[in-house]
Amino acid sequence: MSDSLFSDAELVSTWLERHFASEDVAANRLLEAMAYAALNGGKRLRGCLVISAGRCVAQITGSDVRMDNLLSIAGAVELLHAYSLIHDDLPAMDDAELRRGKPATHIAFDEATAILAGDALQTQAFSILASDELAIADDVKIALVATLARASGVAGMAGGQMLDLQAEDKVLDVAEIRQMQDLKTGALISASVLMGAQAQGATDEMLAALASYADKLGYAFQIADDLLDALSDAEQLGKPAGRDAEQNKASLVSLLGLEEAQQITVQLAQDAEQALSRFGSAADDLVALARFAVNRSY
């Protein structure tokens, strides 16, 4: 990533650390597990997308970047993402013992605590969007809640995870894999872009261009993830490699082969870039994020 994107990722991580440091609740162990999962490294891609999209819209419209608001929204999206990772790793789901090189939450704590930590992280995400710390008009806050809920629920991330689980027993075609991955991964990536843009007052036209970008980016990101799973070793990945093939998981890599999958990600990243061409240099960070998404090694 470029320097400014790295520093965005650090700002998001710092925001999350402060967020958990300021909480004081009776259920300490639960808060610990939530913090463990949310502060466990990670690329902060979704948080960076919130900030970069917000910055892009601010530059086009000539308005001030409200970094405080963008960071709160980025934090909310990252908490939502952290919840999904905890639950995905559970024994009944992907049964993964490692996440980013460290024990998964249900290993570091226990299964019940992990389930509850995921539950409470989801709640926290919506709580932040409805809180006073977000200095945004109420109609925009409602739009943010609606965007995040749409991306996360039965017609979004949770629905995609269900299709993914069901895919273990059957052979999906390319269109079915795309639908599953659009829901499972793409929806929250798109929501990140849209929420950053909404917070900075994007017009419908800007949102449409950003949605087109995010759609392609999300798909490219997911295929790149599958390629990493197929090609990497465990140390680089921070989790066991080759899990998809082992679990007979549907992926474009297994269906089309490595080479074609790689070509598709490169094409998708270019298409994502193309969708933002009208924004000129205002979209530089978003373009860099699309390139990072397909070229990353972790």
Q: Which is nearer to its own copies, 21 or 25 (CB)?
A: 25
CA 119 to chain centre: 17
Helix (H) or strand (E) holding 98: strand 98-99
Our CB check for its own copies shows the closer of 83 and 292 to be: 83
Contacts of 239 (CB under 8 A, 6+ apart): 96, 98, 99, 100, 101
CB of 139 to its own copies, least distance (A): 5
Which residues form the interface with its own copies (CB under 8 A)? 23, 25-27, 29-31, 34, 83, 87, 90, 92-93, 110-113, 115-116, 118-120, 122-124, 126-127, 129-131, 137-139, 141-143, 145-146, 149-150, 152-156, 158-163, 165-166, 179, 183
H/E stretch holding 103: strand 102-103
**How near is the Cβ of 181 to its own copies at its closest, in Å?**
12
Choice between 48 and 120, CB closer to its own copies: 120
Cα–Cα dist 254/248, whole Å: 9
Select 116 or 230, whichever has its Cβ closest to its own copies.
116
We find the least distance from the C-beta atom of residue 117 to its own copies, in angstroms, to be: 8
Minimum Å gap between C-beta 19 and its own copies is 12
Taking the least distance from each CB to its own copies, the nearer of 134 and 283 is 134
User: Minimal distance in Å, beta carbon 131 to its own copies?
Assistant: 7
Q: Find the shortest distance in angstroms from Cβ 165 to its own copies.
A: 5
- Of 184 and 216, nearer to its own copies (C-beta) is 184
Q: Which is nearer to its own copies, 42 or 156 (CB)?
A: 156
Evaluate whether 244 touches 225 at the Cβ level (below 8 Å): no
224-252 as b/e: b if 16+ CB within 10 A: bbbbbbbebeeeebbbebebbeeeebbbb
Q: Which two tokens stand for residue 157?
A: 């991330």
Measure the CA–CA gap between 125 and 83, rounded to whole angstroms: 9
Smallest distance from its own copies to CB 73, Å: 14
| Structure token pair of residue 131 | 């809180």
List Cα–Cα distances, 267 to 4, 216, 291, in angstroms.
25, 9, 11
